[in-house]
Amino acid sequence: MPMTEMLTPGLPAGITLPEPLTRAWAWMEARGFGFTNEHGYFLTPYPGDRQLGVVFTPAESLTGWFEPGEPGHDDLVPLGQIAGDGSLCALWNDSGTVRFVALGSDGAAFLLADSAVDFLRLIAIGYDEIPYPEYLAEPPEDEDTVEAHAPFRTWVEAEFGVEVPGRWRTAAPDPFDAWIEDSGA
């Protein structure tokens, strides 16, 4: 079953998956980049089972950040891991605007991208992990990871008519960090 079909039934009311993201997942699945093991279904923008960047999965939860029924829980949809330490990326419903955010395993919370296309551009750069916003200020260090993302990078640029930069920029002040602080998470 495709990632989109697995994630859609559990979406909070009023949240839909952005079409560029579902197109990217379909591209990954068409290339065989998805796999299932005893822990569930996983999808990557690169071949192989080695973690070389984001790993999408419908099995992530907001446990430790927000519990079901708490304010803020229904404004976030976990999408997968962005670091080997369990840091997550999530879709954030920011008063009707869909953004993409990080929830770090150590409590760091930060905005990744303001749109689905920008989120895909960020992923296509080829960072091996994004546990802190400071990692985005520099180009990726792991050449294998950058190379593994090359086909995805080419697809993102051609599919959306955008350029994938050599490094990412962070928001200052960070609206997601402020939202987390206000929510008490």
Q: What is the pLDDT of residues 80-136, one digit of tens each?
A: 999 988 899 999 999 999 999 999 988 889 999 999 999 999 999 999 999 888 889
pTM of the model: 0.95
* Average of per-residue pLDDT values in the chain: 92
Report the share of the chain in percent with pLDDT over 70.
99
pLDDT above 70: residue 51? yes
Compute CA distances 71 → 65, 125, 150, 180, whole Å. 11, 34, 39, 11
pLDDT single digits (tens) 58-84: 999 998 898 888 888 999 999 999 998
pLDDT single digits (tens) 136-162: 989 999 999 999 999 999 999 999 999
Any bridge partners for residue 100, and if so which?
A: 91, 113
Please tell me whether residue 90 adopts helix, strand or coil conformation: strand
pLDDT single digits (tens) 127-142: 999 988 888 989 999 9
pLDDT above 70: residue 23? yes
Quick count: other Cβ atoms within 10 Å of Cβ 155?
A: 18
d(CA 7, CA 87): 19
